[in-house]
């Protein structure tokens, strides 16, 4: 009888331990704090996560409405901290899209998000300038990009020129002289010129209904800076 009770207790302990371990493994993805594309002044990930008080003032102050609160999927430490969101608008609209303009023509060129931050989570550098600030870099997925799927598309290229100008545009054509439909001009991102403004992601039509099968995100998206 005693042996039976011992076995039962042992089995119970093993079962509870296994359940806790499995729950822990399932929760691991929520514990980490992966880098996100942050508003201007938030590129020091450690500083932002440790100082952010989740007041949402930066979200409310953003005139372009491209700052949102990170969800639990981004990790416990990231949850409710500010991140950039450029895909939350209808694609293919070159006259109606949202992106980070760094408040270049507002508030004396100082981003409103950083100006209203009460804790220093969004902290601009001493030499900050809207024309040189970089918050991320656009990454192009040639597997889902419509231009690389034998169908001409120029939205990301055209909007980059519209926002940045011909000389400073970060997206150019790999074969700019192509005129034949079979020799489609292919967009390429120059990471040394990209400031992560998100205009290209905002207008990308690759994930629009019926455009690209099984696409979980747009073909061009802004990713956080490395390091």
Residue 11 lies in a domain: no
Residue 11, pLDDT score: 45
User: CB 122: neighbour CB atoms within 10 A?
Assistant: 27
Low-confidence ranges of the chain (pLDDT < 50): 1-7, 11-12, 14-30, 209-210
Residue 115, pLDDT score: 97
Residue 23 lies in a domain: no
Residue 167, pLDDT score: 94
Sort residue 28 into left (φ over 0), alpha (ψ -120 to 50) or beta.
alpha
Tens of pLDDT, residues 159-211: 999 999 999 999 999 876 666 655 568 899 999 999 999 999 999 988 764 45
Closest CA to 145 of 200, 207, 209, 216: 207
Residue 208 lies in a domain: yes
Q: What is the C-alpha to C-alpha distance for residues 99 and 101, in angstroms, rounded to an integer?
A: 6
pTM: 0.80
| Tokens of residue 174, six digits | 């790999």
Range of the domain at 213: 45-223
The domain total for the chain is: 1
Q: What is the C-alpha to C-alpha distance for residues 35 and 55, in angstroms, rounded to an integer?
A: 20
Residue 180, pLDDT score: 60
Q: What is the C-alpha to C-alpha distance for residues 167 and 42, in angstroms, rounded to an integer?
A: 27
DSSP the chain: -HHHHHHHHHHHHHHHHHHHHHHHHHHHHHH--------TT---HHHHHHH-----HHHHH-TT--EEE--GGG-TTTTTSEEE--SSS-SS-TTS-----TTTTSGGG--HHHHH-SSSSS---TT--TTT----EEEE-TTT-GGGGTS---HHHHHHHHHH-TTT-SEEETTTT--SGGG---EEE-TTT-----HHHHH--TTSTTTSTT-SS-SEEEEPPP-
Residue 29, pLDDT score: 47
Residue 83 lies in a domain: yes
């Amino acid at each position: 009888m005693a042996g039976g009770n011992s076995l039962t207790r042992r089995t119970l302990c093993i079962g509870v331990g296994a359940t806790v371990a499995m729950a822990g493994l399932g929760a691991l993805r929520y514990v980490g704090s992966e880098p996100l594309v942050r508003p201007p002044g938030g590129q020091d990930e450690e500083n932002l996560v440790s100082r952010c008080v989740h007041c949402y003032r930066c979200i409310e102050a953003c005139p372009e409405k491209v700052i949102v609160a990170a969800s639990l999927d981004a990790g416990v430490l990231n949850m409710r901290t500010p991140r950039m969101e450029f895909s939350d608008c209808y694609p293919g609209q070159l006259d109606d899209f949202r992106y980070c303009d760094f408040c270049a023509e507002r508030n004396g060129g100082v981003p409103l998000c950083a100006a209203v931050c009460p804790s220093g989570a969004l902290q601009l550098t001493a030499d900050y300038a809207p024309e040189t600030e970089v918050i991320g870099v656009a990454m192009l997925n040639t597997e889902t990009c419509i231009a690389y799927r034998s169908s001409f598309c120029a939205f990301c290229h055209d909007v980059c020129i519209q926002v940045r100008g011909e000389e400073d545009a970060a997206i150019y054509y790999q074969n700019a002289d192509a005129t034949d439909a079979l020799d489609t001009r292919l967009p390429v991102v120059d990471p040394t010129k990209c400031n992560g403004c998100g205009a290209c992601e905002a207008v990308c039509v690759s994930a629009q209904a019926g455009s690209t099968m099984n696409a979980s995100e747009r073909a061009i998206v802004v990713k956080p800076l490395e390091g």
